[in-house]
Amino acid sequence: MEVDLSVLCLLLLLLVSHGVGLKDMCQEARCKKHGPVIRFPFRIKGKQPDYCGYPGFDLSCTDRKETLLKLPTSVKLYIKNIDYASELITATDPENCLPRQLLNFNLSTSPFKFAAQLQRDLDFFNCTSRQRDSYLWTSCLGVPGYDIYAFMSGSIVTYFDLTSCSKMYNLSSVPDDLNSWDNTLHLNWSRPACGLCGALGKFCRLKNNTDMIETECYDKPKSNEGIACLTLSALVYLKTIQIECLFWNCWIICLVKKIRFKYS
């Protein structure tokens, strides 16, 4: 019984692709084409196994293909960049108002810390008069007719009229970059320690057969696209040979029939 070479090659292609998928479930991923590269210690929750990431580093992809980080205090951030060598992430607020999330920012149970070295204790005031020369003017917090201002706690405000203001609350250790107009916040992490791996151009992963959660560096895996492409090329090549063989078989059969008819 003859075996169809194209069928064999197709089965081979499927097996290779399936094997690649099983082996590299922890391969680099993105939520969108130009989104941040996601690899250990991060993982895409629901799409990659737990062992692909480190506890507390779960990310998800939104319907708009934004890379989303949910902190334990219900704070949600869009991740715009991940620097694995510096162990630094650049994040923005989905609603374009980072100061609004300040009240819920408690990183004590999170693996992340504010990256800004300069942090301030701030007092927030709700004012009916608009004076833009204040130390910090958080326009996105205001409502029609009211504006929210912030000053360093304990400072003597002599250039600002507080008669039309009422104190709302005070917050401690507010990172200085949270006051930026570009809605950008920087967070870093120290554990797992994968910065050296990134600096060496290597990847980081959990060690096997260890009781403690330890990591190790390893060489960047080769792309599996080449294997799939090679298999597909072999399929096309063998299919072409099969078509050529079929053509010549038909030609020979026709020739034999003509010869038999001529001498019959």
pLDDT category at 4 given cuts 50, 70, 90 is low
* Distance from the first to the final alpha carbon of the chain: 32
Peptide bond into 94 cis (omega under 30): no
pLDDT category at 232 given cuts 50, 70, 90 is very low
Q: With 60 as the cut, is the pLDDT of residue 3 above it?
A: no
Q: With 60 as the cut, is the pLDDT of residue 233 above it?
A: no
Q: With 90 as the cut, is the pLDDT of residue 57 above it?
A: yes
pLDDT category at 151 given cuts 50, 70, 90 is confident
Q: Which of 48-57, 169-178, 226-235 has the largest mean confidence?
A: 48-57
User: What CA–CA distance (Å, rounded) separates 146 from 80?
Assistant: 32
pLDDT category at 180 given cuts 50, 70, 90 is low
Is there a contact between 91 and 82 (Cβ–Cβ < 8 Å)? Answer: no
pLDDT category at 20 given cuts 50, 70, 90 is very low
The residue ranking higher by pLDDT, 77 or 163, is 77
pLDDT category at 10 given cuts 50, 70, 90 is very low
Pairing outcome for strands 136-137 and 67-70: unpaired
Is there a contact between 59 and 44 (Cβ–Cβ < 8 Å)? Answer: yes
Structure tokens that stand for 42 in this block: 């991060």
Identify the weakest region by mean pLDDT among 7-16, 36-45, 97-106, 165-174.
7-16
Predicted pLDDT of residue 186: 93
Q: With 70 as the cut, is the pLDDT of residue 11 above it?
A: no
